[in-house]
Amino acid sequence: MSNDSQIAHFFKNQTIFLATGLIGKLLVEKLLRTSFDLKKIYILMRAKHGKNPQQRFDDFFDNPCFENINRKDFISKVSFIGGDCKKPDLGLEPEDVDILKNETTCVFHIAANVNFQQTIKESSYNVKATKEMITLTGKMEMLKIFVYVFTAYSNCLNSHIRDEIYQPPIKAQAFLDLVDSCAVTNVFYVVSKCLSEDLIKSLAIGISTAIIRPAIVTNTIEEPIPGYIDNYHGFSGLVVGGYMGLIQTLYVKKEVQMNLVPADVVCNCILAAAWHTANCKTLTVFNCVGKKIS
């Protein structure tokens, strides 16, 4: 993204609020490296692995993906806000809510529990977090764009997925009421994503919104460094496990094809979608998929 590109120009003087994770990390790196006139980035941080939000933020830029930028040049532009997507109101303190309401212009909602073995109760947090985020964005006085990253498989019962929102098997609020009223334990990840789409369609009225649906996210192909990945989820775990000899056999169906997309391609798609949707001011869906391999 060159300095004179329309996308880079769009992010000039913008204040961004986002959660981390692989894609969130790459977004921060890309924005800091290419959008020099960016005003501020607020990163939602929760306590994790025995570290509080401040400790996790202190370690954030020690990651290899930030090797191509000088921390001294941008550290004043990046701050953390303590919170948790699993908690009511995202676990935000009132003073932090005021900051976000008064300053934020772009929201990237990427955080999610991606464990495919989660219970309905656990997967309901994906829907609840989306609802809380939409409620918060509705209070942001200068908001230009709300971007939510889903998955290409949120409507997997359809043989062909178009760039549109599909009718879910149950309304999002009815699902949340069901979860709150009884102890259910079935796996529900994919449906939670479908319900989140419907929730956005219902609640994000008047908000310029982009929905990004990436396929199976793999390591970067080029930026910020080729081959970068920060986890062993999904396909990358299979590759590493096979390379180390930990996985020696794998049961697969020959007719099933995997659709892979590099993490930096997803990152670029998100930024381009934010620019496009902020200009057209509509709810727009973008399927971000790659080449199928069998």
* pLDDT, position 255: 81
* pLDDT, position 204: 86
Q: Does residue 105 belong to any structural domain of this protein?
A: yes
* pLDDT, position 185: 46
Question: Of how many residues is the chain composed?
Answer: 294
* pLDDT, position 179: 66
Q: What is the pLDDT of residues 254-280, one digit of tens each?
A: 887 788 899 999 999 999 999 999 988
pLDDT at 156 over 90: no
* Spatial separation of the C-alpha atoms in residues 186 and 123, rounded to whole Å: 10
**Number of domains forming the structure of the chain:** 1
Q: Does residue 1 belong to any structural domain of this protein?
A: no
Instruction: Give the residue with greater pLDDT, 155 vs 197.
Output: 197
Confidence category of residue 155, pLDDT binned at 50, 70, 90: low
* Spatial separation of the C-alpha atoms in residues 238 and 283, rounded to whole Å: 36
Reported pTM:
0.84
Strands (E), 204-273: 209-214, 216-218, 258-262
Q: Does residue 28 belong to any structural domain of this protein?
A: yes
Q: Does residue 172 belong to any structural domain of this protein?
A: yes
CA distances from 77 to 14, 42, 80 (A): 11, 9, 10
Confirm if 46 and 113 have CB atoms less than 8 A apart: no
Q: Does residue 76 belong to any structural domain of this protein?
A: yes
Confidence category of residue 74, pLDDT binned at 50, 70, 90: confident
- Region 132-138: mean pLDDT is 92
Burial tier of 173 (Cβ tally within 10 Å: 0-12, 13-18, 19+): middle
- Region 134-143: mean pLDDT is 93
Q: Helix or strand or coil: residue 88?
A: helix
Q: What is the pLDDT of residues 75-123, one digit of tens each?
A: 889 999 999 988 889 999 999 999 999 999 999 998 766 665 666 666 6
pLDDT at 134 over 80: yes
* pLDDT, position 262: 93
CA 28 to chain centre: 12
User: Which structural domain, as residue segments, surrounds residue 68?
Assistant: 6-293
Instruction: Give the residue with greater pLDDT, 153 vs 67.
Output: 67
CATH number at residue 154: 3.40.50.720
First to last CA, the chain: 32
pLDDT at 140 over 90: yes
Q: Which residues make beta-bridge pairs with 262?
A: 218
DSSP character for 288? E
Token pair of 252 as six digits = 């697969």
Token pair of 12 as six digits = 């000039």
- Region 11-29: mean pLDDT is 90
Q: What is the pLDDT of residues 166-218, one digit of tens each?
A: 777 677 777 777 666 655 545 455 667 778 888 888 888 889 999 999 988 98
